[in-house]
Structure 1
Amino acid sequence: MFQLLWILLIGFILGLIAKLILRGPQSIPWWLTMLLGAAGALLGNAVAGWLGVAHTSGIDWTRHILQIGFAVLLVALVAPAWGRRKATR
Structure 2
Amino acid sequence: MIGTILTALIAGTVIGILGKFLAPGGRDNIPLWLTVLCGVGGVFIGSYVYAAIFDCTNMNNCTNGVDWWRHLWQIVVAAILVVIAAGITGRKRA
Could you tell me which of 47, 50, 58 is aligned with 2:49? 47
Structure 2 spans left out of the alignment, 5+ residues = none
Consecutive aligned runs of 4 or more in structure 1 exceeding 6 Å deviation = none
- Closer, same or farther in 2 for the Cα pair 1:25/1:47, shift >3 Å? closer
TM-score, normalised on structure 2?
0.80
Q: TM-score, normalised by structure 1?
A: 0.84
Name the CA shift for 1:25/1:36 in 2 (closer, same or farther; >3 Å).
closer
Determine the structure 1 residue equivalent to 2:63.
56
Higher relative contact order (CA 8 A, sep 6+): 2
CA contact (8 A) 2:42 2:78 kept: yes
> Equivalents in 1 of 2:18, 2:64: separation in Å?
25
Larger mean Cα displacement after TM superposition, 18-27 or 28-37: 18-27
Q: Show structure 1 runs of 5+ residues with no match.
A: none
Deviations 1:40-71 (A, max 9, x none): 11011101211225521222121111100100
Q: Is the 8 A contact 1:26 1:80 kept in 2?
A: no
